Structures are given as C-alpha cells and as structure tokens.
Amino acid sequence: MNIDLALRASIQDSIKTLFQTNIEQLQLQPTNAEFEGSHTLVCFPLAKISKKNPEQTATAIGEYLVTHTEIVSRYNVVKGFLNLVIADRVWAEVFQFIYSDKNFGLLPSNGKEWMVEYSSPNTNKPLHLGHLRNNFLGYSVAEIYKALGYRVHKVQIINDRGIHICKSMAAWKLFGQGETPQSSGLKGDKLVGKYYVEFDKHYKIQIKELMEKGATEADAEKQAPIMKQAVEMLQKWEAKDEATVQLWKMMNGWVYEGFSFTYKRMGVDFEKLYYESDTYLLGKDEVLRGLAQGVFYKKEDGSVWVDLSSDGLDQKVLLRADGTSVYMTQDIGTAILRFRDFPKIEGQIYTVGNEQEYHFKVLFLILKKLGYSWAEKCYHLSYGMVDLPSGKMKSREGTVVDADDLMQEMAEEAEKQTRELGKIDDLTEEQIKSLSEIIGLGALKFFLLKVDPKKRMLFDPNESIQLQGHTGPFIQYTHARIRAIIRKAEAMEIKPNRNELTQIISLEPAEREVIFMVNNYINKLNEAARDYSPAVVANFAFDLAKGYNQFYQSIPIFNESDQAKLKFRIAFSEVVADVLRKSMKLLGIEVPEKM
C-alpha cells in the first residue's frame, strides 16, 4: 500500500465533495515534530476554493477524512495547517507490505545508465583526507543510483602525465640514488610523494637564490634549474623520448600499486580506469578541429585559446605555445571518449572539489560549442574542503593528512575503545581486528558523508568514533543491538508470521514514527539522487536508529504478554535492522552482527 498516494486521493475526494472542485496539486508535507500526526496538508492555497479561511478549510477537510475514510483516525489544526494521524490499521498494512518484500529499498532496473567519476588522483603523491571524502562521495552516489534501478559505471581519470609527475621524476633523478619501494620499505605512492616534496623544497631554495641575485620572483620561478629540468622532462615525454618514458612508467607503476592497496582498504571500486596519457591526444585533436572551425583562436605565440567572455566567463588556454596540453585539453578528450565507450549513459557525474567549479563550467561550455549535445547532461558534484582541528592541509609542504595513516589510526582507536568497553571477551584476536576495522572505517566514512557535499567541513576523529551522538558507530551499535534481540527471539522460538501482522490494531507512538520513517526510505533515496547528496541517506539512517532506540527504551520487547504484539515487535526490529544495513551499505559502511 502506498500511503502517500492513498492519502492524496482521499484528500482530493474530500475537496471535490466539500467544495465541488477538482484539484491536482496538494501541499502535503511531514508533520512538525511538536504536533501529533505524520502528514500535514497546507490549507492556505485552498482558501480560495473553499471560500473559508485556512483554519476553517482545514477543519472541514479533517472532519471529512475522519468520517468518510479509513485512512485518517484523527486530526488537529494549527492555523492553516491540517495535521493528520494515520490509522494504526493502515500503518499495520504498510508494515506488512514492507516486511513481505525482501527487496524493499532496491528498485528493479529502469534501463537507464549513468557514469560517476571519482578519486582521479595525480600520480605525484599519495591519497589524503580530501581524497577520502572524494572517494566516499563518488562511490556512495553511484551505489544510491544503483539502488534506484540505474546501471552505473564507476570510473576515474588518472592524471598520470603533466608537470606534476615530472617534478617528482626530476627530484628522484637528482636525489634518489636509485631508491625504490623495495629498498626504502615505503609504499610506492608515498615514495613518489616524498620526491614531490623534495622538489618543492629545492625549488624554493633556488628561487630565493635567484631573487637575491636580482631576478624578479616571476623570472626566478621560470629560471630555477630544477623547474627547467621538470619542464624539459615534460617536453621529452610528449616527444616520446625513450629514457623519459621508461622513468615515467616505472614511477607511475609504483604509485598504482600503492593506490590499489589504499582503494581496497577504503572499500571502493572502479569499472574502468582512464589515463590522461591516453586521452590528452584526443583532446588535442578536438582543440585543433575547433581551431579550424573558428570555435577557438590562436595567439601570436602559437598558443590556442577559447574566448568565453560573451558567455560571462573568461578566456582559457587549451594548448600552450610549445604545443603541450593543459588539464582542459585532457578533460575534453576524456569526456568525448567516455560517451564513445558508453553511448547509453544519460550523463556524467564528476566528483571534484569546489575549487574546480570554474573549470567545469568552462569544460561543459567548450564541449557544447564543439557540438556535443550531451554536454548539458554533465554534472559537477562539487564538494568542500575537509579541515582538521589543526587546520588546512598543504600537500606540497609535506603536511598532508595521509589517507592510509588516518584509516589506520581510526581502526586503532576503535580497537582501543572496544577493548575498554569490555564487551569482546568471546571474540578472537582476529575477530577483534576485523570488528575494529569495521567500526573505525565506518566512523570515518559516516562523518565525512553526513555533511552536505557542498559544505566545507571539520573532521574531528575523536567525535566521529563515539558510540553516542550523530556518528556511524551509534548506528552500527543500534544494528548490533537489534541483531542480539533477533537471536534471542530465535532461541525462544518466537517466529513472526507475515499474515498475522495486520491483526495489530493499536500501535505505540514510537512504532508509528519508525514505520513512517521506513516507509519514506525510497523517497529519501530519490532525494539523495536528485541532490547528489549521500548526506540525505546518512541522516536518514541516524534518524531511524535514533527512532528505534526511543522505541527500545520505552517498550520492553520481551515483557509483552500479547503474542501477536510480541511477534510484531520482533518483525518490526528485523525490518529496522534490514533498512539500517541497506542504508549504511549505500555509504560503503558495514554493520556488525555483534558489537
């Protein structure tokens, strides 16, 4: 039973009967928590139809619904707002439908396809806290779309070429003395990142020395020997110089191996990897095609530009004077290649930080000017920076919050707190480690996902891991508590019967509230997909866990003498556990059986 559709139909019938008017649009919303009811009809727009004031209109409709339908048991009016209390029998029918549907929350295929890009790191440094938010956001958005029946292609573009990797390559050649991940004991991405920091350190020293000799800062930045070496490497790479390409392959190989380890622990996956080294050539071809068609123009120094000033933007370089590519060139090629590879996709979702908002406005507009109509189906999932209590991260100064280190610290803190609680006496050391990983990573993911992506956020590791409060462990603990209840019921041979559930004729307020929330699950998934915001799912899961705990605290389940009600509450608990598990799974978070 779809309670929202049934209620809307009943309200429309009441308006037609009372005021002799057919109406399609109704303002129906959740009831404010301070008033009784679950659904509220806004009656101010109906006053013109009823020829009464909003409060009288609400009262007339409320009386009609109570008298002539079986959906509404009672109502209250607050000014022009009609708060409706749905009959317990209706809630019981809704619950029976949910309980009987083992695929509740997973819609069948709708035949539509989307592509979600996330991660997309540079190969000059390891993944950091910002990458964690990026990966968790992109992965979760993809999973939400999958739950709604879409086929989703998870991809990333690996920025494996350009001046950034050449900086690490130059520093390694100058100072590395043949160091490898094996000889150093460092993960490959961390080793390459070490030389990126080393480059920056020597670059600053050289700039200072040149400025002391009278050079301007701009000239010093260009003339610093280590920078000139990096630029020369980039030119040699694009010219396919064998030695340069081999060094590039070796160092990138180290990075990929390191990334693979990190992604596995994050719990994210990809269907296809795109490499900038493959896509930038297609981008160059498209830029030259656009130049020939007059979409772009060439400056005297030979560089190619696009003028978007008539569109309210600016001028943007697409090819440098020396013929080398910029990020925009590669992104043009990548977007086109993806639509060729997956011609059925509705569009692309790019999960990239909000500092790149202008970049994506330019990219989508350039693609449109090149004649690609699908450019309007591209969306930039922009997200804010993540700060720690200690302040902003700066990767080139070597103070980045490393993703591997943070995940390890979260697991260790979870283990410490778990041992202190003393509830793991029956677990082996291996089980304790596994549980600590689930709790630690769950705490990290939930905290990064519960905030609207557009907002800059402060990540507090200590707050995130607490068992009480707006945290992942609170939800995980609620799930574990419910599973303990279900195990106890099974041991007592209490087995809910799906056909008996509608026999419940009275519900406690906490039960009604939780059934209302569960019934709203698909609506929340649609809202999350529409807004590209896993925060909607995260906060739904928290509210559901909180609602169940209020029920648990006010109603002792196993003290119930009425067997029908006892079985109902066990079934009720099963449904909540299932929806919590599915919600958290969409966030990439596991929920334990015991905790």
Is 370 within a domain?
A: yes
> CB-based burial of residue 384 (10 Å sphere; 0-12 exposed, 13-18 middle, 19+ buried)?
middle
Residue 95 lies in a domain: no
Residue 91 domain-assigned (yes or no): no
How many alpha carbons fall within 13 Å on the CB side of residue 584? Answer: 32
The predicted structure's pLDDT at residue 358: 97
- Tokens 């609170």 found at: 474
Strands (E), 128-200: 151-158
Q: Residue 429: CB partners within 8 Å, gap ≥ 6?
A: none
- Written as one letter, the residue type at 436 is S
Query: Cα 582 to chain center, whole Å?
Result: 15
Residue type at 212?
Answer: E
Per DSSP, the three-state class of 551 is: helix
Any idea which residue has 């494996």 for tokens?
160
210, 220 in Cβ contact below 8 A?
Answer: yes
pLDDT score of 340? 96
Sequence-separated (6 or more) residues with CB below 8 Å from residue 294: none
What SS3 class is residue 416? helix
Q: Are residues 383 and 426 in the same domain?
A: no
265 & 179 share domain: yes
Q: Does residue 111 form part of some domain?
A: no
Q: Are residues 281 and 365 in the same domain?
A: yes
Residues 208 and 308 both lie in one domain: yes
CA neighbor of 126 nearest in space, from 195, 199, 30: 195
DSSP H or E stretch at residue 29: strand 28-30
d(CA 187, CA 255): 8
| C-alpha–C-alpha distance, residues 235 and 162, integer Å | 9
Asked if residue 104 belongs to a domain, the reply is no
Q: Which residues contact 594 (CB under 8 A, 6 or more apart)?
A: 427, 435, 480, 483, 484
- CA atoms of 488 and 349, how far apart (whole Å): 45
CA-atom Rg of the chain in angstroms? 29
* Pick from 451, 452, 458: nearest CA to 387: 458
Q: What is the DSSP letter of 31?
A: P
Tell me, what's the pLDDT at 551? 97
CA–CA separation, 371 and 335 (whole Å): 13
CA distances to 16, 175, 291 from 306, in Å: 59, 40, 9
With beta carbons less than 8 A apart as the criterion, state whether 398 and 431 touch.
no
Helix (H, G, I), strand (E, B) or coil at 439: helix
b/e sequence 483-505, b meaning 16+ C-beta within 10 Å:
bebbeebeeeebebeeeebbebe
Q: State whether 310 and 167 are in the same domain.
A: yes
Q: In the prediction, which pLDDT does 395 show?
A: 43
Alpha helix locations (H) across 274-402? 276-292, 327-341, 357-369
Distance between CA 566 and CA 500 in Å, rounded? 11
pLDDT, averaged per 10 consecutive residues of the chain (595 residues), comes to 90 97 94 94 96 97 97 96 95 92 95 96 92 98 98 96 93 97 97 96 97 96 97 92 97 97 98 93 95 96 96 95 88 96 96 97 97 95 88 50 94 92 82 95 98 94 93 98 97 84 78 94 97 98 98 94 91 97 98 93
The answer as to whether 317 is a domain residue is: yes
Q: Is residue 475 left, alpha or beta, with left meaning phi > 0 and alpha meaning psi from -120 to 50?
A: alpha
Rounded (to 5) percent helix, strand, coil in the chain: 60, 10, 30
- The closest of 97, 28, 59, 32 to 575, measured between CA atoms, is 97
> 3-state secondary structure string, 473-522?
HHHHHHHHHHHHHHHHHHHCCCCCCHHHHHHCCCCCHHHHHHHHHHHCHH
- List the one residue out of 430, 450, 454 whose CA is nearest residue 442: 450
71 to each of 75, 107, 297, 355, how far by Cα in Å?
11, 26, 67, 50
Same domain, 162 and 70: no
* Residue 388: predicted pLDDT: 81
- Kindly write down the DSSP assignment for every residue of 38-87, as one continuous string: SEEEE-GGGHHHHTS-HHHHHHHHHHHHHHH-SSEEEEEEETTEEEEEEP
The SS3 call for residue 267 is coil
Which CATH number fits the domain that encloses residue 40?
Answer: 3.30.1360.70
Closest to 588 measured CA to CA, from 444, 477, 471, 417: 444
- Determine, yes or no, domain membership for 223: yes
Angle formed at CA 486 by CA 582 and CA 581, multiple of 5 degrees? 10
Please give the Cα distance from 1 to 502 (Å, whole number). 12
Residue 434 and residue 574 share a domain? yes
Q: Are both 317 and 371 inside the same structural domain?
A: yes
What is the tally of structural domains in the chain?
3
* CA–CA gap between residue 566 and residue 101 (Å, rounded): 21
Answer yes or no: do 449 and 568 share one domain: yes
Q: Which of 66, 86, 106 is the last residue of a domain?
A: 86
Q: Is 346 helix (H, G, I), strand (E, B) or coil?
A: strand
Q: Which CATH number belongs to the domain containing residue 305 in this structure?
A: 3.40.50.620
User: Degrees (nearest 5) of the Cα angle 230, 199, 393?
Assistant: 120
pTM of the predicted model as reported, rounded to 2 decimal places: 0.92
Say which CATH number the domain at 512 has. 1.10.730.10
pLDDT at position 587 is 98
Assigned domain for 527 exists = yes
- 296 and 266 housed in the same domain: yes
Q: Are residues 580 and 510 in the same domain?
A: yes
How many other CB atoms sit within 10 Å of the CB of residue 38? Answer: 20
Look at residues 376, 397, 418 and tell me which one is the last residue of a structural domain: 397
Residues 377 and 438 in one domain: no
> Last residue of some domain: 360, 380, 397?
397
Instruction: Report whether 189 contacts 126 (CB < 8 A).
Output: yes
Instruction: Print the domain residue range for 75.
Output: 3-86
